[in-house]
């Protein structure tokens, strides 16, 4: 009987099944109870468990008698048993079939992982499919192919001139010479490092990359380069200006200055020096001038230009005269002055220039006053300075003329003003002239001349007479050409020997170079400010070495400025086959001079000349160089040291052809 059947020890008991198998058995048993006919339709199906085994039997020392099976149970059981076998043999087989899929997944994942790692290693040295480095396209190239292409392009950029500009100012550097460098190999190495990042792997095979090259900077060299650029590109603002040239007014607009931001410039260069552009703007800020463009425009339109637009009529009592635009412009000056509201352009007029112009245009405006002055009295060689007293007279006050014209310009601009004729004091009074104390001989010198050369001596006499008695006021210049020119026969000059292009020949005014030498020594020994002079090409032994000058009208001149606080007077004359000069003044400077020994001797040259008036010479002394020194000490005690050098050529051998 079924109740007497013993369990097969080879079959696993319900307790020996794992929890998953027991759960499957229970689900199958429940399905069989809901639809018993389902098993009849599928005779080959194997039940997961016996219905009786679906009820878990308690384990322990107590026995359990299951209830007698019902008829329904008997009908179902044989069908579910499938030919008399029990369901206890099937669960292990079902378990093996259902747990096979995890191993398939593991194998697939393992294969995929091996493939992924293989791709990572296979693309380790590959560049992205589409790649630019600093804009250089190396798409589709290997590392070995890309490196020289990038290197060639970047080398050209590093060695080109990079122009940095700020407004109208420009400066440039060559990056490779200013401490900037790049590393192509390091850049490509970064792109070909082993990676397992799927995004990077995808990019190497199918994607694109646009990268900057690895760069480095020599901080010291770059700092010097940036400092040099900043110095060249930083500039002060330019103030506006108005300049009168006769009746024309020349207006220059103000220009902003610029201050370079050196720190930002350094950053910009570091970021852009390898770019494709060859020009860049300097970072910084504009610096405005003290007077704005708007202020200048208003001033020019309302004041500066109207001054010279038309004549001005000036009336004094019954006298009337006109000032032309050119005369007004000559007297005008525009300066920037500080006022209550800040700096502003200001028009000023010179009263003396205007009164002189009025006197020139009408005798009725000529002042009868006389400034005190100084002059030499007596014969040259024995003359002495004398003060010529000043005197008052009737005339127009220049300051009143200025005030009236400026008031009209700033008002209705009627172009007509009225002034008064009154007593006018001299600008330089007698007392002021006497206080100059110019009765001191501050310089004296003499050089010999060949009295046998009549034409030359005549030129020396004319030149000395025209220089003698010249008064040079403080701040004014001595100008030899203004005293001697024109060098013509009509002006009294004779033809005599001169040196032209190193060759002795004849020309009008021959000998005037000795007047130039004497004029130069008067200024040099008197401490005057030497403006222009030029020694001879060869040395004449009648002159002091290095301390002499030649003269040629319109080309070579002697000029010096009186930088003392009193007038100086030049005295010059011929006596005893010598040309003498003397400078009278206030004994302002304490002068000390010295001349070096000749050095750097050179051989005498040979010159061939086709000039019709060529004079043959047999050659002579060698050339040499000499230094001349001067120390002048003013009343303040601050000595001024000066030095001049001159190289003489040797006396040539001249061959006339």
325-331 long-range contacts, Cβ below 8 Å, gap at least 24?
325/246, 325/247, 326/246, 326/247, 327/353, 327/354, 327/357, 327/361, 328/247, 328/354, 328/405, 329/244, 329/245, 329/246, 329/247, 329/248, 329/249, 330/244, 330/246, 330/357, 331/357
Average pLDDT over all residues of the chain: 82
pLDDT tens track for 359-406: 999 988 988 888 999 999 999 999 999 999 999 988 888 999 999 999
What pLDDT does residue 60 have?
Answer: 42
Least confident of 76-80, 182-186, 551-555: 76-80
Q: Are 385 and 468 in contact (CB under 8 A)?
A: no
What pLDDT does residue 27 have?
Answer: 54
Encoded tokens for 527: 């401490």
Longest Cα separation, the chain:
181
What pLDDT does residue 104 have?
Answer: 65
What pLDDT does residue 114 have?
Answer: 60
- Check if CATH label 2.30.29 holds for domain 295-435: no
617: confidence class by pLDDT, cuts 50, 70, 90: confident
Give the single-character DSSP code of 169: E
Least confident of 55-59, 97-101, 172-176: 55-59
Mean pLDDT confidence for 251-280: 90
pLDDT tens track for 496-507: 877 665 556 678
29: confidence class by pLDDT, cuts 50, 70, 90: low
Give Cα 121 to chain centroid, integer Å.
54
* CA separation for the pair 269, 162 (Å, rounded): 9
What pLDDT does residue 73 have?
Answer: 39
Pairing of strands 495-500, 503-508: antiparallel
The yes-or-no verdict on residue 40 having pLDDT over 80 is: no
52: confidence class by pLDDT, cuts 50, 70, 90: very low
CA angle 295, 333, 303 (to 5 degrees): 45
The yes-or-no verdict on residue 45 having pLDDT over 60 is: no
Q: Are 511 and 457 in contact (CB under 8 A)?
A: yes
Give residue limits of the domains in the chain.
Answer: 2-98, 130-262, 295-435, 440-656
Q: What is the DSSP string of 101-123?
A: HHHHHHHHHHHHHHHHHHHHHHT
* CA separation for the pair 518, 118 (Å, rounded): 102
Report in angstroms the alpha-carbon separations of 271 from 60, 153, 179, 213, 559: 87, 17, 14, 11, 57
pLDDT tens track for 395-440: 888 999 999 999 999 999 999 999 988 888 888 999 999 999 999 9
* CA separation for the pair 244, 248 (Å, rounded): 6
* CA separation for the pair 230, 217 (Å, rounded): 18
Main-chain dihedrals φ then ψ at residue 24, nearest 5 degrees:
-65, -40
What pLDDT does residue 498 have?
Answer: 74
The yes-or-no verdict on residue 6 having pLDDT over 90 is: no
Give the single-character DSSP code of 473: -
What pLDDT does residue 599 have?
Answer: 97
The yes-or-no verdict on residue 42 having pLDDT over 50 is: no
* CA separation for the pair 520, 404 (Å, rounded): 46
The yes-or-no verdict on residue 11 having pLDDT over 60 is: no
Q: What is the 3-state secondary structure (H, E, C) of 34-52?
A: HCCCHHHHCCCCCCCCCCC
Least confident of 41-50, 144-153, 251-260: 41-50
pLDDT tens track for 194-225: 455 565 555 555 456 777 888 888 889 889 99
Q: Which residue has the higher pLDDT, 189 or 600?
A: 600
The yes-or-no verdict on residue 59 having pLDDT over 70 is: no
* CA separation for the pair 250, 242 (Å, rounded): 6
Give Cα 312 to chain centroid, integer Å.
46
Beta-carbon-side half-sphere exposure of residue 173 (alpha carbons within 13 Å): 29
**Cβ neighbours of residue 510 under 8 Å, at least 6 residues apart?**
455, 456, 459, 494, 495, 496, 497, 498
Other Cβ atoms within 10 Å of 559 Cβ, number: 19
Q: Which residue has the higher pLDDT, 200 or 287?
A: 287
Other Cβ atoms within 10 Å of 255 Cβ, number: 18
The H or E element that residue 639 is part of is none
Mean pLDDT confidence for 594-619: 85
Main-chain dihedrals φ then ψ at residue 391, nearest 5 degrees:
-150, 150
pTM of the predicted model as reported, rounded to 2 decimal places = 0.52
The H or E element that residue 251 is part of is strand 248-252
Mean pLDDT confidence for 316-321: 91
Least confident of 87-91, 439-443, 531-535: 87-91
What pLDDT does residue 306 have?
Answer: 96
What pLDDT does residue 64 have?
Answer: 43
Q: Which residue has the higher pLDDT, 192 or 205?
A: 192
Least confident of 215-229, 443-457, 476-490, 578-592: 215-229
The pLDDT > 90 percentage for the chain reads 48
């Amino acid at each position: 009987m079924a109740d007497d059947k013993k369990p097969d020890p080879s079959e696993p008991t319900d307790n020996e099944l794992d929890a998953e198998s027991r759960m499957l058995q229970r689900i199958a048993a429940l399905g069989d109870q809901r639809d018993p006919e389902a098993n009849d339709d599928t005779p080959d199906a194997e039940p997961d468990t016996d219905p009786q085994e679906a009820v878990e039997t308690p384990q322990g020392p107590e026995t359990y008698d299951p209830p007698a099976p019902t008829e329904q149970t008997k009908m179902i059981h044989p069908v579910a048993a499938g030919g008399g076998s029990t369901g206890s043999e099937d669960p292990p087989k079902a378990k093996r079939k259902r747990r096979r899929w995890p191993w398939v997944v593991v194998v697939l994942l393992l294969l995929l992982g091996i493939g992924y790692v293989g791709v990572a290693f296979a693309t380790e040295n590959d560049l992205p499919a589409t790649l630019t480095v600093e804009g250089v396209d190396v798409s589709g190239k290997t590392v070995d192919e890309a490196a020289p292409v990038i290197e060639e392009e970047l080398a050209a950029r590093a060695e080109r001139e990079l122009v940095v500009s700020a407004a109208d100012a420009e400066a440039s550097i060559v990056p490779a010479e200013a401490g900037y460098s790049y590393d192509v190999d390091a850049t490509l190495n970064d792109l070909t490092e082993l990676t397992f990042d799927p995004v990077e792997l995808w990019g190497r095979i199918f994607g694109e990359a646009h990268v900057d090259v690895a760069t480095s900077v020599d901080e010291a060299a770059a700092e010097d380069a940036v400092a040099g650029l900043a110095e060249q590109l930083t500039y002060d603002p330019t103030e506006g200006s108005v300049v009168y040239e006769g009746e024309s007014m020349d207006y220059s607009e103000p220009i902003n200055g610029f201050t370079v931001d050196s720190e930002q410039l350094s950053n910009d260069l570091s970021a852009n020096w390898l770019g494709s552009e060859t020009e860049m703007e300097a970072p910084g800020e504009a610096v405005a001038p003290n007077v704005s463009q708007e202020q200048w425009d208003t001033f020019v339109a309302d004041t500066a230009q109207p001054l010279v637009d038309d004549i001005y009529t000036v009336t004094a009592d019954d006298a009337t005269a006109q000032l032309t635009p050119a005369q007004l412009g000559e007297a005008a000056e525009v300066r920037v002055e500080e006022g209550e509201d800040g700096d502003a352009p200001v028009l000023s007029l010179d009263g003396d220039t205007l009164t002189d112009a009025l006197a020139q245009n009408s005798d009725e405006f000529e002042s009868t006053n006389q400034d005190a002055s100084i002059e030499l009295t007596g014969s040259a060689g024995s003359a002495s300075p004398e003060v010529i007293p000043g005197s008052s007279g009737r005339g127009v006050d220049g300051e009143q003329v200025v005030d009236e014209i400026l008031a009209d310009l700033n008002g209705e601009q009627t172009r007509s003003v009225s002034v008064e004729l009154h007593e006018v004091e001299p600008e330089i009074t007698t007392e002021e002239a006497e206080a100059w104390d110019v009765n001191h001989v501050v310089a004296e010198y003499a050089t010999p001349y060949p009295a046998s050369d009549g034409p030359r001596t005549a030129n020396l006499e004319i030149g000395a007479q025209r220089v003698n008695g010249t008064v040079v006021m403080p701040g004014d210049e001595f100008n030899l050409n203004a005293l001697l020119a024109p060098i013509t026969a009509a002006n009294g000059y004779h033809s005599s020997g001169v040196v032209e292009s190193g060759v002795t020949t004849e020309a009008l005014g021959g000998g005037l170079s000795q007047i130039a030498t004497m004029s130069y020594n008067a200024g040099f020994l008197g401490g005057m400010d030497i403006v222009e002079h030029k020694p001879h090409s060869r040395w004449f032994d009648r002159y002091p070495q290095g301390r002499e000058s030649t003269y040629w009208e319109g080309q070579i001149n002697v000029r010096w400025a009186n930088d003392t606080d009193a007038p100086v007077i030049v005295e010059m004359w011929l006596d005893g086959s010598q040309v003498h000069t003397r400078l009278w003044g206030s004994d302002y400077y304490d002068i000390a001079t010295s001349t070096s020994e000749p050095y750097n001797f050179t051989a005498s040259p040979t010159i061939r000349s086709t000039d019709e008036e060529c004079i043959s010479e047999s050659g002579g002394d060698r050339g040499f160089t000499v230094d001349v020194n001067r120390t002048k000490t003013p009343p303040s005690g601050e000595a001024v040291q000066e030095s001049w050098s001159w190289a003489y050529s040797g006396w040539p051998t001249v061959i006339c052809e």
